[in-house]
Structure 1
């Protein structure tokens, strides 16, 4: 299915306006002192510095980007920019490999990303799972090697009036290197060396006098086990090799960067002490005693990346120059889904049952002898190309450019099966793919007028044309379709039902087939289905939000593994559930701040912001989720799903203009550079962010479901995730020093409290949209410290040793066992011990070594 749109943005005229379309000059300059950096983000003036910028701009230098062990641009920004949040979700389908990031607590698609001042395209992936950034398509900053970046300018202020709704939170401008000579080569190796916090080693199951395992009296959901100490883990081995090279071309330049990264799997799963096998003649299967209880894979997936960036410029006469730049990224990833127990209905061979035969433990036949863990392999390609000219026409500065970017993702589900096709169904399937392309043509015209002010008055105007297209490529039939071992109930006669070997219910006139009740879809990542329908049309909502459709499997604490369909807004089932055509979001951003430079080398900025968004586009709750909501709500939604052919799914969701929200807060950033004589040259910095997200109003347009009492399209779980699912505050303290041939970088970051909201409703107020439930997890604030030491020899070669999270800090462990109210915490808390809403992940200590040569 291919969707496209074309739109011409209105001609804009501004004084002292924002949009940035200039590249830096080709010759690299000495690193400026704080506040003296010349910026092009947040201003059209060519000589604006951070100190006199009317809006807050963070400048992240090339040195800061290449210090540390991760090598990922998003991870570096998370450590350096206080209002930037980059959690590390796991078992979240493709969001494991293409992770969204946020600025000022807003949605990932409300931060505009520029490269050399030009709009960057988003990825084709729509984040639909329960992660930060749910319901958005984000720009993947990790496709650009930090070795290619001269600096990153982060405008922490709304610019929606100039750029559109994707700049409500701010602008991130990546400026590529422009050196026409020399280069840099780097080799980095690192891995996680850690001990898991709050988890104990399982040494084996306990047995009774007959040699049989038994359930733990303290927690009867799990088998009793002999426990040891904290498990040690050594994994995630990562090699990163990169090179940057600048070459002169006449009076111009070309700067090229290539990078290769190979990262192995990180696994922080706990031990799964659930009964894995069906009973044999009433007794436990003997294999329970030898089964590998580390059956989940929970953490960073295995990935392999190739990244290339090219930046070039050439003078055209005295006052004009041509420029071009581009990037290419190829990433192969492999992440895991949830473990399927041997005795699960999702591992059942339905071909041994007659249509009228009810499934039971006695007639169970497994497809995978021990259960199975599905894997999601992703093939990811991203590229962008830009070309333009800029120069002077009289006293006017003119910049004309065109940029095309494209993102392609293909999926393959491995070690899995669609049991509705029986035991001979393929174990590995092509699950389809996503495509997103964007072309932008831009004209900027500026002129400065001396009118007697301290600074010249800048007049700017221009226009932009943007065309986008989004495509879903269907997977193979077995990846998504219902096979012969799934037959929905149908109205018929008793005689016809008997002839079909069904079970007839005289009261309803329905013929059902319990032996043909197999779950539908390739497990782990159900394939993208083929549509008969092509649609077009676009305003502010993204094409992804308008037209994405797929089915995913979720692990519900109440109902186990449940299929959830994300349906297009214009589909019949979405309309029956209350969906309406999406409207543009509207925002109002008010900010005020101050900047101080009381003496050379020191700068201090404080910025306050207040952002109101109306008709905010969000993804609804999982409506009809088995085990949640009232019986009346579930029955009403199930009736709609069944009537529209979605008999095999447990819930549905779609995009709505669902909220009016307010985001407010403050950013404070201070830095000081000084020369300490024999003690070297030092740079100290401190940054603080406070951000509050609040739902002002739920736009609960239920349509046909208005008669169902208490139903909320955007309910308690997603509402509290929106308000509490990211740190409200963050502190970053850092020191960087050079003492002769030695260097030191030390940074400590405090991440504020986060609430991970679970399904279970509040015990005393089950219909409340704001009260906490018994299974909600409160992640306490944590300090993480990174340290790197360097030794430079022969002036151009540097050897570095470092550790990220040197003190091996973990997020709050998910509680297990009996709750204070007498119930039990969700069973997945035992084998998935950390929640992926942690703003710094849950991988533990990462140690690394790096060798760098400059030439």
Structure 2
């Protein structure tokens, strides 16, 4: 019996072996070049393999199996095994890569060619090829209508650079992750820099290696997604496989030998369950050192601004020509973690989830407090606080109260501004199909917290507290700060969080009609975190005052939205789409918006004509409604002054008659033409027009009227402020332009393949529409909340045109890329500049070179030289009229004007406003990638 069982088992094993076949082969393209990374799958199973670096594969399959061979950009083939064991498979390039578009429509996804809306699709390899170290900077050199740059010495702005699409500010582009709303940053930009008065999501914290593709909808989409989608939508699609993992080591340095960067990231995945689910994870650590680009400070301007002896100024500048200033790109340390996963529960049911956490620490600096600015004569104790090597400050000094202090070579000091950022987001959802209806239910959680620390500073304000004197038996006034001040301060910070619930239902009713509807509930919370007493008391820490108790607290709201959408394919070429949405906010009421779009394909689907018209809205953020604080800023000709930001629900706002904020409303119109007239060549041209009513702006600083009885003067005097600013629905705007994208790829060139890409954005119109809506008290004072500086920030501080021309060449194990980005002219009207002049930034071309070497199927070495020609921004004065030309004809007046807008040349290269690309010059980056 035992022998019989052994025989039967052997026969079974033998039969199973006969029933399987090991096949192998190579996958090539039409030019006989191998295709590494092609997928070979046994049809109807999860049994598959990926071709190696030489395009080869091996696979054990069942008899009678069919092989399915696929590769991105090529037509999928099915080949029956039929007893063969070796294969040479040639894939044909597809006439059109049918990338699935899930952004911009609530009905089931369509291919890129059949979408009625302009959508840019950017893959992770294209982002990595830019050589930029963060996601936002990679987009700067990939999407012409997208702009972001580093801003020097703008306090909390160093934690998160403002970005925007189509010159519309960061708050008018909605950021999605896998189609779900990403939380806003806690940061409100309050300095005179791009993005002033607005806030956006922290996209710089998203690890590039976690991204599969980016879909950027260049059209208003409030009807589909709600608030913030006036300028467009950026949908970040995360990697969704458990294979093809890799580890990357990155290093870099600037052409000046600073700004050293080191980073490492790992992206990998694993199966969940029995092949029915996946989890993909990314871990990224990086550190970037300080890159300092100070200017050479002008002594005469300094002496005039600070009322200092010219000899003292010259002596200090002879030792420190840059006046000790540190500005440029701050030291930054970042840790990023992200997971994305899903699991099939049963047929047509899926549980999905993703989560991310980002920690970022930034060390930057305020303006250097020179010894003729914060003088030892005024503050004798500074010699004890900040001893230095100034030969003129070696003796003893006595204050107004008879206290004597040693000078100790006091030579000034530079306060630090240090920020800690924590950002998180997570989504869990469930997808199902019920009687042909697609149901998607999800919950999204997200938050961002930024807390600050000021070091190497002091509280210089006279605040007295009664102290008991045992000798006299009385209470005597004692100074709480000055010589008794601490030098490290916790000024507090801000935090924002939201919880979003979504239900989305859609169905394809027939070959011609698809419908969708859904609802969203969102609750938001904004917190102003109180600073410690010494950080705000009196006037607070020198350089950055903390949040006062009366300005701190938690503020929240909720909103409920619902939408309905329909797509009607009148025939195979002609599509009509419509969406309507209603939203209700707990703090300002309801709004209704809609969108209609259409697409028509012709000439055998080679060309597509598309158009859309929509209304939109943007709710005022909680940051804009509730932020109130004192802040330090540079006032031309007066140095650093303390101004006040008054919120719209405060007693001060009621006293001044400042109205509460309402939502912005918009009208968007887009029309475009796209096509692929022949193999390898495609193009799109789109015209857009955006009108915004009641645009929310943080107004310019409003100063004294000179009338001591005026409520404005009373408010400033009682709070020891030089000026105040506030938010208001101040202006209507019109923006229009053209977007161009041309691509010609996979051209045979010698033994390699050549590709060309040209994309551009041209602004036709970007201006205020009608008069500024000033509150009566501002109008009566002969001032305006929008002056020429504000107008420039909104409308001309970004390039009027921007073009990106890229060339790629792949040959053997090498890949080369050469990109030229043309930044068009920008103009600016800095605060303090003579009204007869403007500054104009010269158009420039920034050239980037990239080289990849595929050592073998696992190892790749990449080298990028960004801005290889070391091109820097340049600006010059331009005359508005004859009076302006007269100024330009006088070198002394020109120098004076230059000093006014650059803080006496501290920012001769890096002015606060108007520059349009990085000021760090050439950057060199090396990466080594290992594929698991």
- Shorter-normalised TM range: 0.7 to 0.9
Q: Is the 1:813–1:833 contact (alpha carbons within 8 Å) kept by the matching residues of 2?
A: no
Mark the CA change 1:365 to 1:316 in structure 2 (over 3 Å): closer, same or farther: same
Mark the CA change 1:103 to 1:444 in structure 2 (over 3 Å): closer, same or farther: same
Partner of 1:288: 316
Mark the CA change 1:285 to 1:66 in structure 2 (over 3 Å): closer, same or farther: closer
Mark the CA change 1:572 to 1:798 in structure 2 (over 3 Å): closer, same or farther: same
Deviations 1:404-455 (A, max 9, x none): 001011100111112012122111100101110011000111111325xxxx
Please state whether the residue corresponding to 2:550 is helix, strand or coil. coil
Distance 2:311 2:759 in 1: 61
Measured after TM superposition, the shift of residue 343 of structure 1 is 1.9
Partner of 1:853: 930
In the TM superposition, 1:348-497 aligns within 5 A as: 349=378, 369-420=410-461, 421-450=481-510, 456-482=512-538
Deviations 1:188-236 (A, max 9, x none): 111111xxxxxxxxxxxxxxxxxxxxxxxxxxxxxxxxxxxxxxx3210
Q: Is the 1:576–1:704 contact (alpha carbons within 8 Å) kept by the matching residues of 2?
A: no
Which blocks of at least 5 consecutive residues in structure 2 are unaligned? 1-45, 51-69, 74-93, 383-397, 462-480, 558-586, 589-618, 879-885
Measured after TM superposition, the shift of residue 400 of structure 1 is 0.4
Distance 1:533 1:100 in 2: 24
Partner of 2:623: 544
- Counterpart check, 1:820 vs 2:889: yes
Aligned residue among 668, 683, 699 for 1:620: 699
Q: Is the 2:187–2:199 contact (alpha carbons within 8 Å) kept by the matching residues of 1?
A: yes
Distance 2:853 2:779 in 1: 68
In the TM superposition, 1:624-639 aligns within 5 A as: 624=703, 632=706, 636=710, 639=713
In the TM superposition, 1:747-826 aligns within 5 A as: 747-760=819-832, 762-763=834-835, 773-774=836-837, 776-813=838-875, 819-820=888-889, 823=893, 824-826=896-898
Q: Over the residues paired in the alignment, what is the CA RMSD in angstroms?
A: 2.9
Measured after TM superposition, the shift of residue 532 of structure 1 is 7.2
Mark the CA change 1:47 to 1:345 in structure 2 (over 3 Å): closer, same or farther: closer
Q: Is the 2:374–2:412 contact (alpha carbons within 8 Å) kept by the matching residues of 1?
A: no
Distance 1:746 1:260 in 2: 28
Bigger share in strand: 2
Distance 1:180 1:614 in 2: 47
Please state whether the residue corresponding to 2:724 is helix, strand or coil. strand
Partner of 2:920: 843
Aligned residue among 313, 316, 332 for 2:361: 332
Q: Is the 1:818–1:825 contact (alpha carbons within 8 Å) kept by the matching residues of 2?
A: no
Partner of 1:499: none
**Quick one: higher RCO (CA 8 Å, sep 6+), 1 or 2?**
1
Mark the CA change 1:157 to 1:321 in structure 2 (over 3 Å): closer, same or farther: same
Q: More deviation in 273-282 or 385-394?
A: 273-282
Deviations 1:554-579 (A, max 9, x none): 12222111112112111222333342
Distance 2:864 2:146 in 1: 23
Distance 1:268 1:318 in 2: 60
Distance 2:97 2:375 in 1: 60
Partner of 1:694: 767
Please state whether the residue corresponding to 1:96 is helix, strand or coil. helix
Aligned residue among 519, 523, 543 for 1:524: 543
Mark the CA change 1:148 to 1:111 in structure 2 (over 3 Å): closer, same or farther: same
Measured after TM superposition, the shift of residue 737 of structure 1 is 2.5
Partner of 1:640: 714
Aligned residue among 691, 697, 721 for 2:793: 721
Q: Is the 1:417–1:427 contact (alpha carbons within 8 Å) kept by the matching residues of 2?
A: yes
Mark the CA change 1:742 to 1:714 in structure 2 (over 3 Å): closer, same or farther: same
Partner of 1:514: none
Deviations 1:246-267 (A, max 9, x none): 1111210000000011000011
Measured after TM superposition, the shift of residue 52 of structure 1 is 1.9
Distance 1:286 1:270 in 2: 15
Partner of 2:297: 272
Partner of 2:53: none
Please state whether the residue corresponding to 2:625 is helix, strand or coil. helix
Q: Is the 1:338–1:555 contact (alpha carbons within 8 Å) kept by the matching residues of 2?
A: no
Please state whether the residue corresponding to 1:369 is helix, strand or coil. coil
Mark the CA change 1:600 to 1:635 in structure 2 (over 3 Å): closer, same or farther: farther
Please state whether the residue corresponding to 1:573 is helix, strand or coil. helix
Mark the CA change 1:284 to 1:321 in structure 2 (over 3 Å): closer, same or farther: closer
Distance 1:347 1:610 in 2: 57
- Counterpart check, 1:830 vs 2:909: no
Distance 2:270 2:818 in 1: 34
Please state whether the residue corresponding to 1:713 is helix, strand or coil. coil
Measured after TM superposition, the shift of residue 286 of structure 1 is 9.5
Mark the CA change 1:309 to 1:280 in structure 2 (over 3 Å): closer, same or farther: closer
Mark the CA change 1:367 to 1:549 in structure 2 (over 3 Å): closer, same or farther: farther
Measured after TM superposition, the shift of residue 288 of structure 1 is 3.0
Mark the CA change 1:280 to 1:400 in structure 2 (over 3 Å): closer, same or farther: closer
Measured after TM superposition, the shift of residue 87 of structure 1 is 1.8
Distance 1:577 1:88 in 2: 36
Measured after TM superposition, the shift of residue 299 of structure 1 is 0.5
Mark the CA change 1:801 to 1:702 in structure 2 (over 3 Å): closer, same or farther: same
Deviations 1:677-725 (A, max 9, x none): 64323332111101231100234232334432x3112122101321211
Distance 1:853 1:636 in 2: 69
Partner of 2:388: none
Partner of 1:666: 738
Mark the CA change 1:724 to 1:463 in structure 2 (over 3 Å): closer, same or farther: same
Partner of 2:727: 655
Aligned residue among 104, 115, 140 for 1:78: 140
Q: TM-score, normalised by structure 2?
A: 0.74
Mark the CA change 1:754 to 1:279 in structure 2 (over 3 Å): closer, same or farther: closer
Partner of 2:18: none
Mark the CA change 1:603 to 1:703 in structure 2 (over 3 Å): closer, same or farther: same
Q: More deviation in 45-54 or 608-617?
A: 45-54
Distance 1:594 1:636 in 2: 58
Distance 2:749 2:149 in 1: 40
- Counterpart check, 1:241 vs 2:316: no
Please state whether the residue corresponding to 2:744 is helix, strand or coil. strand
Mark the CA change 1:413 to 1:796 in structure 2 (over 3 Å): closer, same or farther: same
Distance 1:368 1:471 in 2: 43
Please state whether the residue corresponding to 2:299 is helix, strand or coil. coil
Please state whether the residue corresponding to 1:423 is helix, strand or coil. helix
